């Protein structure tokens, strides 16, 4: 389904992720310099680095906990070791391991693994998006109410007033739900479980994976101004083509 190196990375992500459910709920937030980070976030990131070191090709690692400085090289691996660590800390099963790859500025591989549900969302550029080896596509709401995912809690530089203004606008488009892992939110759009995700993000570690998953599944992924994703993007719209267009008109 995907190239050999990408399959090896996906297998690594699954192995690391499968350790987490037994640890969830018993992992204190040790790293006060950064809100919501555990020894397990750090361990996965270090294990990924050690794994990639053995591949042989020169690369850069752009990851949330230990390698957070933006990388601009031609061969960059991007990781969110535990997407939504606060859920992992509290034993709430909505977290994921997220890894993607960017080659000369273009994202060409993405995987989001939910160890609680044993669900691996994976995509390679030009080959489609898959959930546990079954091809997935975005799906319009049809005669039902659109499912919209939105992180109500303000993160980074966002304020509650700003988030409430976004909520007041997007609630006209469908039923608005707030889940934990941003990486999984994008995967849910790609798989047709939700039609739209609007994120007031503080960084872009899960966004690169989300971008490829959504686009390979036939959706649209931009910032709230309609611009392509960059490391500095703040405010994301990911959805079906029709809902993305409507949301951009509301927020852009």
Are both 4-136 and 147-251 of the same fold?
no
Residue 141 has pLDDT above 90, yes or no: no
Closest CA to 194 of 131, 240, 135, 249: 240
Contact 190, 217 (CB under 8 A): yes
Predicted confidence (pLDDT) at residue 20 exceeds the cutoff of 80: yes
* Percentage of residues in the chain having pLDDT higher than 90: 71
pLDDT at 93 over 60: yes
pLDDT digits (tens, 9 = 90+) for 186-196: 999 999 999 99
Best CA proximity match to 132, nearest among 111, 160, 153:
111
Q: Which residue from 113, 131, 135, 110 is spatially nearest to 208, judged by alpha carbons?
A: 110
Banded model confidence at residue 248, pLDDT cuts 50, 70, 90: very high
pLDDT score for 150: 95
pLDDT at 26: 83
Provide the pLDDT for residue 68.
62
pLDDT for 73: 83
Q: Give the domain 4-136 fold.
A: Fructose-1,6-Bisphosphatase; Chain A, domain 1 (3.30.540)
Domain boundaries, the chain: 4-136, 147-251
Tokens of 82: 């535990």
* For residues 106-118, average pLDDT: 97
pLDDT in tens, 36-89: 678 888 899 999 999 999 886 889 999 877 766 777 788 999 999 999 999 999
How much is the pTM?
0.93
Q: Given this structure, which CATH class describes domain 147-251?
A: alpha beta
Give, as one character, the DSSP assignment of residue 172: G
């Amino acid at each position: 389904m995907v190239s050999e190196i990408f399959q090896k990375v996906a297998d690594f992500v699954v192995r690391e992720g499968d350790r987490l459910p037994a640890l969830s709920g018993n992992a204190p937030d040790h790293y006060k310099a950064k809100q919501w980070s555990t020894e397990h976030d750090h361990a996965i990131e270090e294990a990924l680095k050690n794994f990639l070191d053995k591949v042989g090709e020169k690369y850069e690692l752009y990851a949330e906990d230990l390698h957070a400085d933006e990388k601009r090289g031609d061969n960059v691996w991007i990781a969110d070791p535990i997407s939504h660590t606060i859920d992992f800390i509290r034993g709430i099963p909505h977290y994921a391991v997220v890894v993607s790859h960017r080659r000369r500025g273009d994202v060409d591989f993405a995987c989001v693994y939910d160890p609680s549900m044993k669900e691996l969302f994976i995509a390679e550029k030009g080959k489609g998006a898959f959930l546990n080896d079954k091809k997935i596509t975005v799906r319009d709401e049809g005669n039902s109410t659109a499912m919209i995912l939105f992180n109500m809690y303000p993160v980074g530089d966002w304020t509650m007033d700003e988030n409430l203004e976004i909520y007041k606008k997007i609630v006209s488009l469908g039923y608005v739900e707030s889940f934990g892992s941003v990486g999984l939110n994008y995967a849910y759009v790609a798989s047709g479980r939700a039609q739209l995700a609007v994120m007031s993000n503080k960084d872009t570690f899960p966004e690169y994976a989300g971008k490829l998953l959504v686009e390979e599944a036939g959706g649209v992924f931009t910032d709230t101004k309609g611009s392509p994703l960059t490391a500095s993007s703040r405010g994301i719209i990911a959805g079906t083509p029709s809902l993305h267009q409507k949301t951009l008109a509301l927020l852009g």
